[in-house]
């Protein structure tokens, strides 16, 4: 009986201890969930529909997400700090519009990202496109069906970034860098060379890999700053254009817009900055080509090439003093109210206010000088851009470059990643949750939620 009683006591004590451990874990998890609810509240409060930059509370510009005490525990939200030379983490959310979207970025954009080759970019395109035609350097079913174990090519949009691990050329080391456990903290094993897994360069900084630069969630809504649907300028009547711009632009400016748009298909809203040069350049080019075919002297060819180069390097600032139709301020109003696209959702737009230098450099037409200018502007007292139209007046920005950039950029953000932690110090209980929060609808909702620990 004594032995039986002792055994019963030990079993009961173990159950109580297990129950306590479970309660501690639950408390830590509730703290992490509280962090996410706090993040949702902040995102909802700051969602005014105008612009988002790194001064927002969501970014952790203060100490908002650093450490909040709740009962016996604390919670925090952190993310990789890509702007710091020493790497590491910062407290706050990460904007998904600061990244390239795997489902919309072109091969040329993807291969400009760190450690992504042309073949890897081609494999991404093949994975997401619906056909079985192999892009040069890419891979379709013929490649994946011969692997062990074998599987089919996706042939659809990526659902998650981690799906890249199934794509030809990608590995955990490429996707996650040295931060294989995705905790954002440089651990001893991540800074000891080849002594322990994962492989690392032992340089004292954490290589986050590709994952901070890519997403599947980014989008913007095709609406004005007030949430009203933009009007397609090509299908809008004169009365609709005037009604939309009344009180926002001077009457003579509206007259110029209506006159320019009349009997013309607007392929690019940048044409309103070019003004008559949009047509003149085309007509001049056609005429020069005809003359060139009749008389191709060396001098004529040289002069034509020089003229073309000068035209292609025409800057917006210089155009504003001549043939341009609108001022930059008027152009910003036009961009806010009108569009050339009918889609209600514009997937994959990159927020220039939050994008890293590496992501900016991957955008069509972007130069190192312009990327540096944009990054420096974000860090200055001027802060972020309130309209993509502001970029048109940057030093060194040409009309052609801005035209290439415009379809890919925004100054607004809707989806944010939160890495939430809950911790109960007395119990040494710890929980970690990853979530992607979308505030683009009526209220912030989870697009993805995963308990990591």
83 and 139 part of one domain: no
Helix (H) / strand (E) containing 69:
strand 68-70
90 and 104 part of one domain: no
Which of 166, 197, 217 is at the close of a domain?
217
- Per the domain annotation, does 364 fall within a domain? no
For residue 280, give the nearest of 335, 324, 330, 340 by alpha carbon. Answer: 324
Helix (H) / strand (E) containing 372:
helix 368-379
Tokens of 228: 């009203």
11 and 65 part of one domain: yes
- Per the domain annotation, does 326 fall within a domain? no
- Per the domain annotation, does 72 fall within a domain? yes
Separation between Cα atoms, residue 38 and residue 76, nearest integer Å? 10
Strands 231-232 vs 100-101: parallel, antiparallel or unpaired: unpaired
Largest separation between any pair of C-alpha atoms in the chain: 115
Ranges of residues in the chain with a pLDDT under 70 are 1-20, 62, 83-88, 183-192, 201-202, 204, 276-324
Q: What is the pLDDT of residues 259-317, one digit of tens each?
A: 999 989 999 999 999 876 555 444 444 444 444 444 444 444 444 444 444 444 444 44
Alpha-carbon distance values, 440 to 341, 385, 437 (Å)? 19, 20, 9
213 and 104 part of one domain: yes
- Per the domain annotation, does 335 fall within a domain? no
Tokens 């993807």 -> residue: 110
Tokens of 16: 């109580």
- Per the domain annotation, does 331 fall within a domain? no
Separation between Cα atoms, residue 133 and residue 140, nearest integer Å? 7
181 and 74 part of one domain: no
Task: Give the domain CATH number at 142.
Answer: 1.10.40
48 and 112 part of one domain: no
140 and 206 part of one domain: yes
Mapping DSSP to helix (H, G, I), strand (E, B) and coil, where does residue 208 land? coil
Could you list the residue range(s) of the whole structural domain that residue 181 is in? Answer: 100-217
108 and 86 part of one domain: no
Mapping DSSP to helix (H, G, I), strand (E, B) and coil, where does residue 271 land? helix
pLDDT at 113: 98
What is the four-CA torsion angle of 356, 159, 48, 44, rounded to 10 degrees? -110
10 and 75 part of one domain: yes
- Per the domain annotation, does 190 fall within a domain? yes
DSSP string, 165-198: GGSTT--HHHHHTT-TT--SS--GGGSSTTSSSS
Q: What is the pLDDT of residues 112-154, one digit of tens each?
A: 999 999 999 999 999 999 999 999 999 999 999 999 999 999 9
Cα 102 to chain centroid distance, Å, stands at 10
pLDDT at 287: 46
Separation between Cα atoms, residue 140 and residue 136, nearest integer Å? 11
Separation between Cα atoms, residue 180 and residue 174, nearest integer Å? 10
pLDDT at 18: 60
- Per the domain annotation, does 114 fall within a domain? yes
Separation between Cα atoms, residue 130 and residue 151, nearest integer Å? 16
- Per the domain annotation, does 373 fall within a domain? no
Contact 259, 241 (CB under 8 A): no
67 and 120 part of one domain: no
Mapping DSSP to helix (H, G, I), strand (E, B) and coil, where does residue 12 land? helix
Which of 197, 217, 237 is at the close of a domain?
217
Which of 198, 217, 236 is at the close of a domain?
217
87 and 105 part of one domain: no
Tokens 């892009």 -> residue: 135
pLDDT at 190: 66
Give 259's contacts (C-beta < 8 A, 6+ positions apart): none
Number of folded domains in the chain? 2
pLDDT at 87: 59
Task: Give the domain CATH number at 79.
Answer: 3.30.1300.30
For residue 430, give the nearest of 41, 28, 75, 10 by alpha carbon. Answer: 28
14 and 82 part of one domain: yes
For residue 184, give the nearest of 64, 75, 92 by alpha carbon. Answer: 92
């Amino acid at each position: 009986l004594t032995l039986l009683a002792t055994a019963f006591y030990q079993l009961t004590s173990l159950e109580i201890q297990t129950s306590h451990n479970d309660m501690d874990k639950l408390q830590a998890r509730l703290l992490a969930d509280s962090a996410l609810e706090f993040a949702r509240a902040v995102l909802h409060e700051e969602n005014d529909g105008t612009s988002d930059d790194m001064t927002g509370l969501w970014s952790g510009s203060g100490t908002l997400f650093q450490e909040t005490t709740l009962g016996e525990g604390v919670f925090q939200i952190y993310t990789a700090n890509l702007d710091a030379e020493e790497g590491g983490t910062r407290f706050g959310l990460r904007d998904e519009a600061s990244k390239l979207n795997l489902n919309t970025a072109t091969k040329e954009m993807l291969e400009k990202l760190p450690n992504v080759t042309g073949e890897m970019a081609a494999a991404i395109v093949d994975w997401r496109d619906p056909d079985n035609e192999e892009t040069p350097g890419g891979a379709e079913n013929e490649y994946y069906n011969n692997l062990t174990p074998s599987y089919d090519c996706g042939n659809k949009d990526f659902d998650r970034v981690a799906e890249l691990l199934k794509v030809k050329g990608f590995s955990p080391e490429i996707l996650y860098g040295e931060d294989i456990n995705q905790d954002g903290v440089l651990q001893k094993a991540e800074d000891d060379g080849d002594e322990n897994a994962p492989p690392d360069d032992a340089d004292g900084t954490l290589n986050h890999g590709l994952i901070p630069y890519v997403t599947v969630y980014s989008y913007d809504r095709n609406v004005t700053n007030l949430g009203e649907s933009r009007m397609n300028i090509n299908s809008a009547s004169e009365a609709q254009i005037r009604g939309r711009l009344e009180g926002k632009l001077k009457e003579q400016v509206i007259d110029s817009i209506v006159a320019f748009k009349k009997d013309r298909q607007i392929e690019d809203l940048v044409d309103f900055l070019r003004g008559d040069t949009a047509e003149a350049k085309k007509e001049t080019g056609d005429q020069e080509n005809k003359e060139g075919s009749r008389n191709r002297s060396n001098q004529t060819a040289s002069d034509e090439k020089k003229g073309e180069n000068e035209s292609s390097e025409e800057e917006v600032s210089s155009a504003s003093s001549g043939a341009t139709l609108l001022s930059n301020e008027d152009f910003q109003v036009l961009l806010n109210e009108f569009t050339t696209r009918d889609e209600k959702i514009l997937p994959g737009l990159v927020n220039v206010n939050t994008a890293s230098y590496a992501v900016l450099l991957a955008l069509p037409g972007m130069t190192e000088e312009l990327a540096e200018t944009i990054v420096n502007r974000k860090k200055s007292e001027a802060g972020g851009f309130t309209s993509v139209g502001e970029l048109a007046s940057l030093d060194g920005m040409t009309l052609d470059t801005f035209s290439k950039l415009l379809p890919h950029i925004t100054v607004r953000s809707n989806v944010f990643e939160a890495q939430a932690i809950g911790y109960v110090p007395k119990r040494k209980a710890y929980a970690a949750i990853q979530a992607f929060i979308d505030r683009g609808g009526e209220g912030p909702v989870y697009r993805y939620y995963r308990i990591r620990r």
